[in-house]
Amino acid sequence: MIVNIEKPDDTSKFEFKFETQGNEIDAITLIETLASLDELFSTVSKECYSNVNCKLAVSAHKPGSFIIDLSAIVMSVAPLITPTNISSAYSIIGMVKNCFDIKKHIGNKKPTRVEKRESGLNVTNSDGLVKTYSNEMEKFFESPKIEATTVNIINNRQQQYRN
């Protein structure tokens, strides 16, 4: 997944790629992945940014491998284009990206240690490797829904590769 803010407004875009043979993907895999991504964005925004709402929008795809452009549209309680709204959009997308990074770091095992420090959240995996994330990523470990939707998305992608 690539995090990229393309323009100074309340929409931030990222890519989520399925590398496929040809230009097709199983419809159920796509539907379940998009539903899980939407749920993950919604949960992260509700639990970490209570004053904003976040929804996903699907844009036209690019030629080549099956790529869907998703836009995370973040709306504050006051629907104005402000530095706070732009920052919230970037932060929510960054948190979602970090959900995948944390899951990759810890794999299917629980972390051996999660330590919140002033410098960030240190997450130690079962191999003893430590990665540091922003302290807001503590929500990944506090919210079963955030971890579960992240795992659903990963499982959907893996299922596509098995087919």
- How large is the average pLDDT for residues 20-43? 78
Determine contact, residues 18/120, Cβ cutoff 8 Å: no
Q: Would you place residue 106 in the very low, low, confident or very high pLDDT band (cuts 50, 70, 90)?
A: very high
Q: Which two tokens stand for residue 146?
A: 């955030």
Examine the pLDDT at 39 and tell me if it is beyond 90: no
Cα atoms in the Cβ-side hemisphere of radius 13 Å centred on 7: 7
* Better-predicted residue by pLDDT, 54 or 63: 54
Q: Would you place residue 59 in the very low, low, confident or very high pLDDT band (cuts 50, 70, 90)?
A: low
Q: How many CB atoms sit inside 10 A of residue 89's CB?
A: 26
Examine the pLDDT at 117 and tell me if it is beyond 90: yes
Examine the pLDDT at 84 and tell me if it is beyond 50: yes
Examine the pLDDT at 34 and tell me if it is beyond 70: yes
Q: Tell me the one-letter amino acid at 135.
A: N
The pLDDT score that the predictor gives to residue 20 is: 65
Cα separation, 147 vs 39, whole angstroms: 11
Examine the pLDDT at 143 and tell me if it is beyond 60: yes
Lowest mean pLDDT among 19-23, 41-45, 52-56, 61-65: 61-65
Exposed, middle or buried, 162 (CB in 10 Å: 0-12/13-18/19+)? Answer: exposed
Lowest mean pLDDT among 6-10, 59-63, 83-87: 6-10
Q: Is 104 helix (H, G, I), strand (E, B) or coil?
A: helix
